[in-house]
Structure 1
């Protein structure tokens, strides 16, 4: 992943506005093919017709969690303000819940899911892993605000068009989660809307190889994003933030388990 600033604009190469191509497993996730997403019906389960776009959406939810969950853990560990740590807590809890739903939906509908994020998404993790201090806080808030802003419209389109009840339920949950994450990023006070909005609407093309999460290998354990210890509930995005210096729990790294 490459982040550059030019004339006051932050360019993050790539996005989470993703489109997949293959039937059993995605060949590509990339914003440049969003408009060409097929509505062809690929299966007719009891939950309703399943289109290519429906299948792709389930994979997008899984792929998003595979990089945003560990980034949320980084925010809990490295965030220098209560607002950044709160945003990290929301990422961890939100994507643990979405991951559980997406894996159940995928199993029911026969959709193959990745166990690792795409090279681009791994780049986001690497960038934020290398950051520290206020630079981490700023990059975290702006990268996550950009990617959530991009995926927000994708969730809405799926919710408006899918005929599959399971995909519809996942889209409802994803819509609430993405809006929550957008809100907590904005509450950090670090989002620069001048370049975030530009980035959301003018994304450079990225090679397909960088946008595709690797397919699971035969016999590879399924990675499960575990919920916070004790199942503690999160405050709403509009709730008051913890007082300065308040600590938030740090979750262990995702442990590969057979699900």
Structure 2
């Protein structure tokens, strides 16, 4: 792929799907003891940023369904809409149980991804759509595994299971487009530029504002958490 794409991705690259930073000791601090297990600062942020992921990837999936030039890109777009509507339902189920406030808008960086792709068309849209999403999903994959392997909270554990399955599915469908520049993607995943914290943090919701709901597609294939199993640690 051309140099323009490399520059675009290099400028935007960061673990942006969930916007998580490198784990520090503060993220391990327990902020609440719930009936489902202790909740750490990092786990609270994980729930918030899974929600934020849907707030940019779901609309981007809808855009991809309209603007995607290839069948493979449109298929990937359907997976975004399907997977993130289910994850969003799960986040909205467990957030009040854990006393977590969810955002209604994605982070400025994530909004920037959407704005960039809204302004593109044709083959350029397809290429940047697939590469940006492959990069961001690949960046967060290991972080989800860490949350899943260390959390003592059964609700967070269940959400991490669902997020892991969803991210792997989205990585796979992006790769099936045949458009991925793996050299650039791997470089950007392993050598991300440092961005201001404010750029990667979804803003708090406006008081009194109705909660944004990501509506499932007509024939969804992804399912939200079974709270009965999650509550019991299953």
TM-score by length of 2: 0.88
Matched, 1:112 2:113: no
Greater RCO between the two (CA within 8 Å, min separation 6)?
A: 2
Q: Secondary structure at the match of 2:10?
A: strand
Q: Secondary structure at the match of 1:43?
A: strand
Q: Counterpart in 2 of 1:152?
A: 141
Cα distance in 1 for partners of 2:9, 2:105 equals 26
Give deviations 1:188-209, integer Å, cap 9, x for gaps.
0000101000000000001122
Cα distance in 1 for partners of 2:129, 2:82 equals 17
Deviation at 1:217, TM superposition (A): 1.1
Would the aligned equivalents of 1:16 and 1:64 in 2 still touch at CA under 8 Å?
A: no
Q: Secondary structure at the match of 1:227?
A: coil
Would the aligned equivalents of 1:63 and 1:116 in 2 still touch at CA under 8 Å?
A: yes
Q: Secondary structure at the match of 1:42?
A: strand
Task: Name structure 1 gaps, 5 residues minimum.
Answer: 20-28, 235-259
Deviation at 1:5, TM superposition (A): 2.9
Structure with a larger share of its residues in helix: 2
Of the three residues 145, 149, 161, the one matched with 2:150 is 161
Would the aligned equivalents of 1:94 and 1:177 in 2 still touch at CA under 8 Å?
A: yes
Of the three residues 83, 87, 93, the one matched with 2:82 is 93
Q: Secondary structure at the match of 1:70?
A: helix
Cα distance in 1 for partners of 2:11, 2:216 equals 29
Deviation at 1:53, TM superposition (A): 1.2
Within a 5 Å distance, the mapping from 1:69-218 to structure 2 comes to 69-218=58-207
Deviation at 1:233, TM superposition (A): 2.9
Q: Counterpart in 2 of 1:11?
A: 10
Cα distance in 2 for partners of 1:68, 1:108 equals 25
Q: Counterpart in 2 of 1:48?
A: 37
Would the aligned equivalents of 2:17 and 2:136 in 1 still touch at CA under 8 Å?
A: no
Cα distance in 2 for partners of 1:10, 1:73 equals 21
Cα distance in 1 for partners of 2:16, 2:40 equals 18
Deviation at 1:95, TM superposition (A): 0.1
Specify whether residues 73 and 232 from structure 1 end up closer, same or farther in structure 2 by C-alpha distance, changes over 3 A only.
same
For the aligned residues, what is the CA RMSD?
A: 1.8
Deviation at 1:39, TM superposition (A): 0.6
Cα distance in 1 for partners of 2:60, 2:213 equals 15
